[in-house]
Structure 1
Amino acid sequence: MSTKHTIPSDEDLTAFIDGELTPEEAARIEAIVNEDESTAERLEFLARASLPFEQAFAPLLAEAPRQKLQTMLAAIPAQPSEKSNAAPAFASRRRFLGALAASLVAGIAIDRAVIGRSFSAKDENSEWRAVVADYISLYTPETLAGPVPERDVQASQLAGLDEKLGLSLSPEAVSLPGIDFKRALMLQYDGKPLAQVAYLDPETGPMALCIVRSDAGPKAPDLESRNGMNVVYWSNGTHAFMLIGHAAADRMTAIAEGVRGKVAV
């Protein structure tokens, strides 16, 4: 396979989105995006990835974002796709980058931890689980590398979740047997707080316990598969919970059952 047609890696696509490629490489990737639907879909997914990148954007805001983003946009020719008479999918990505540039130039910090999908009470639990699965699927063991935080650090992080969600979580309540606690952080889904407690399982990799407020009513634990991961989900009268990871279904179910009684509110 020639270099011209080599399918770009996620690292290449991310560098393309961030404007870190040479004009020649950017043009090569754009050509592949216009010809290969799966690559185009992957690029669009990475462009809207719902990871908490607020800190990652801080250096960009501090170091002349106008110049860097204008360079990025200039490297993306606005040519219509020959595959369809409709507006090309890449045009929507170009508009996305343009909107991002405008926001940064205006001094607005973009926090990709804000997950902007709307939902109704009827499909609330299904929709937010789908969004969580999207960004957890991007986690690798390296994402959660580093030492396990001390108990007082864990307690401090969990206290921030308690304040937003009306919970009372302790390090002991969210501990998972044989699995390392890595961090607890507050995200946002459709304007509502979304708590995430991230773990690293030495056997299967990243795992997360996520919680949102919910008035959909109590629901017994159930199991589903999303993005190649197993999800155990349940709810009580005030909150919806999900435990997501790569462990086998029976192990995920057992872990969820253990934590469910400890995080009851």
Structure 2
Amino acid sequence: MSTKHTIPSDEDLTAFIDGELTPEEAARIEAIVNEDESTAERLEFLARANLPFEQAFAPLLAEAPREKLQAMLAAIPVQQSAKSGPVFTTRRRFLGALAASLVAGIAIDRAVIGIGRGFSAKDENSEWRAVVADYISLYTAETLAGPAPGREDQAAQLAGLDEKLGLSLSPEAVSLPGIDFKRALLLQYDGKPLAQIAYLDPETGPMALCIVKSDAGSKAPDLESRKGLNVIYWANETHAFMLIGRIPADRMKELGEDVRGRLSA
């Protein structure tokens, strides 16, 4: 990072977005962005990756040891500026609580960055899958611990997604055989509503069915691997879908085809 032309890391670009750099460092990165197209695209990607991690991990945050956490955070020096103050303070509070809650050796820097490295910002569907894979990789069985909600509770949670997504989801349509429905959340990606339906497989751990509005056109089901997770994804004329988890690829494909058929019925 000692020369003007050194390509900045994702951490540096994230700090630039949040206004945490010194004026000299900010000017250096701005110059690189103006000169280097790949760095400019990466900066745009990081700025757009705005999934609300705090909402996704709300159950963990509620149980975090806040007094101890606040004492730890009080010792962290913070650069104050009119631009960065509120954003960085919120991020520090969330990440500190997440660190206190997730004690299974998870790398917290992935939550700071909130993106998957190496995926093109120009491919909308690839981009949102990268972001989802990044935060689902943080989930453990403890994240989704507790009894599975009954059908009425499932239906109520799904109804909260329907209005924003323009879908009509039912517990039967999104059920996965032998895998517990745990919760349905409404998140946001790139200014668009994103539904996350979380499950817990007794053998392989957390899974999620995620849905976002998309006008990129229909896409036949395909399989890929991200962050050590298997993903089956597809799209119709109005929405993009992905099912993600650690279940073996063949089984993931079967589950994806099954739920796709029910959602299309």
TM-score for the superposition, normalised by structure 2? 0.61
SS of the equivalent of 1:209 reads strand
| Structure 2 match to 1:99 | 87
**Aligned pair partner of 1:50 in 40, 53, 74:** 53
Equivalent pairs, count: 189
Checking the alignment, whether the CA contact within 8 Å between 1:49 and 1:135 is kept in structure 2 is no
Paired with 2:248 and 2:223, the residues of 1 have a C-alpha distance of: 11
Q: Does 1:203 align with 2:206?
A: no
1:161 aligns with 2:161: yes
Report what 2:16 is aligned to.
none
Quick check: 1:198–1:209 contact (8 Å CA) kept in 2?
yes
Whole-Å separation in 1 of the counterparts to 2:59 and 2:88: 16
Deviation track 1:194-222 (CA, whole Å, cap 9, x = no partner) reads 00000001111100000000000000000
Contact 2:114 2:135 in 1 (8 A): no
Q: Distance in 2 between matches of 1:174 and 1:103?
A: 33
Q: Secondary structure at the match of 1:263?
A: helix
Distance 1:248 1:54, change over 3 A: closer
Judging changes above 3 Å, is the alpha-carbon distance between structure 1 residues 154 and 72 closer, same or farther for their aligned structure 2 residues? same
Residue 262 (structure 1) shift: 1.0
Match of residue 151 from structure 1: 151
CA RMSD of aligned residues (A): 3.7
Deviation at 1:143, TM superposition (A): 0.7
Deviation at 1:124, TM superposition (A): 0.8
SS in 2 for 1:195: strand
**One-letter amino acid of the counterpart of residue 199, structure 1:** Y
Q: Deviations over 1:220-245 (max 9, x none)?
A: 00010000010000000000000000
Amino acid at match of 1:209: L
Paired letter, 1:258: D
CA apart distance, 1:77: 5.3
TM-aligned CA distance change 1:120 to 1:149, over 3 Å: same
Unpaired stretches in structure 1, ≥5 consecutive residues: 1-47, 79-90, 106-112
The C-alpha deviation readout for 1:91-150, integer Å capped at 9, x for no partner, is: 8xxx97873327999xxxxxxx9x988x99951110000000011001111111111101
Give CA-to-partner distance per residue, 1:129-183, whole Å, 9 cap, x none: 0000011001111111111101000000000110110001000000001110000
- Which residue of structure 2 lines up, in the alignment, with residue 239 of structure 1? 239
Return 5+ residue gaps in structure 2 as ranges: 1-50, 94-110
Alpha-carbon separation, structure 2, partners of 1:228 and 1:237: 29
Contact 1:159/1:169 (<8 A) preserved: yes
Q: Percent identity?
A: 70
User: SS where residue 194 of structure 1 aligns?
Assistant: strand
**Residue 76 of structure 1: how far off its partner (Å):** 3.2
* Paired amino acid for 1:156: A
1:59 CA displacement: 9.4
Instruction: Report the 3-state secondary structure (helix = DSSP H, G, I; strand = E; otherwise coil) of the residue aligned with 1:250.
Output: helix
For 2:207 and 2:73, locate their aligned partners in 1 and report how far apart those are by CA, in whole Å.
36
